[in-house]
């Protein structure tokens, strides 16, 4: 990523608007962040209300952290982010969470695709990574649908807070040249 490239504060897809968080987002965020089923494969949660307020307050990096808004209703249905490492022109992670009421509707693939597009076209990154629990079929399918390939399978590398056990983790990546070739 070149330092002179400005980060975008909003991104848009057919169904979603990705924008900065506001303090008005706390209730929507808490609806999924406090639900054990919804945050089963996250490194955090389930949140208390205070933890959710702190999360929303800390998500202040425009162009990296985004609230996911369903355009049809204006409702905040998730959050996502892209985290570039300027030294290596790599996103060390893209990540997302959607309220479980919006699972299996294609929105995860849609928002991940936009994060990847943003990373390669706007931020001029050369490589983007993401990871998830190996049993999180929904997440790794989102990565695969967006052209990411599995690069590693790590045994008992992820602490599953909800289930209180170490579980396997998978890491996926895509290179700019791969993304532009399929475009």
Q: What's the CATH number where 176 sits? A: 3.40.630.30
Query: Rounded mean pLDDT of the chain?
Result: 94
Percent of the chain with pLDDT over 70: 98
> Is-cis flag, bond preceding 46, omega within 30?
yes
Structural domain of 41: 11-182
The pLDDT of residue 63 is 86
In a domain, 3, yes or no: no
Collapsing DSSP to helix, strand or coil, 40 comes out as coil
User: Is pLDDT above 80 for 90?
Assistant: yes
User: How does DSSP classify residue 1?
Assistant: -
Cα–Cα separations (whole angstroms), residue 16 to 64, 127, 171: 16, 24, 26
60: confidence class by pLDDT, cuts 50, 70, 90 = confident
In a domain, 27, yes or no: yes
In a domain, 119, yes or no: yes
In a domain, 73, yes or no: yes
User: Is pLDDT above 70 for 3?
Assistant: no
In a domain, 69, yes or no: yes
The pLDDT of residue 1 is 47
How many domains does one find in the chain?
1
Locus of tokens 């425009």: 62
In a domain, 88, yes or no: yes
* 165-175 and 149-160 strand pairing: antiparallel
177, burial (CB in 10 Å: exposed 0-12, middle 13-18, buried 19+)? exposed
Q: What is the mean pLDDT of residues 67-76?
A: 98
């Amino acid at each position: 990523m070149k330092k002179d490239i400005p980060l975008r504060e909003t991104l848009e897809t057919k169904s979603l608007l990705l924008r900065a968080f506001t303090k008005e987002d706390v209730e929507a965020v808490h609806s999924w962040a406090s639900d054990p089923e919804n945050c089963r494969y996250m490194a955090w949660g389930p949140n208390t209300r205070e933890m959710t307020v702190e999360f929303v307050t800390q998500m202040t990096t425009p162009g990296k952290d985004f609230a996911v808004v369903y355009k049809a209703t204006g409702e905040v249905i998730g959050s996502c982010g892209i985290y570039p490492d300027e030294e290596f022109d790599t996103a060390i992670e893209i990540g997302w969470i959607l309220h479980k009421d919006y699972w299996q509707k294609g929105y995860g693939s849609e928002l991940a695709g936009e994060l990847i597009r943003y990373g390669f076209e706007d931020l001029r990154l050369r490589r983007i990574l993401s990871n998830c629990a190996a049993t999180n079929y929904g997440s790794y399918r989102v990565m695969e649908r967006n052209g990411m390939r599995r690069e590693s399978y790590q045994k008992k590398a992820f602490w599953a807070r909800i289930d209180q056990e170490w579980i396997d983790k998978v890491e996926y990546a895509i290179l700019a040249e791969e993304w532009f070739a399929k475009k």
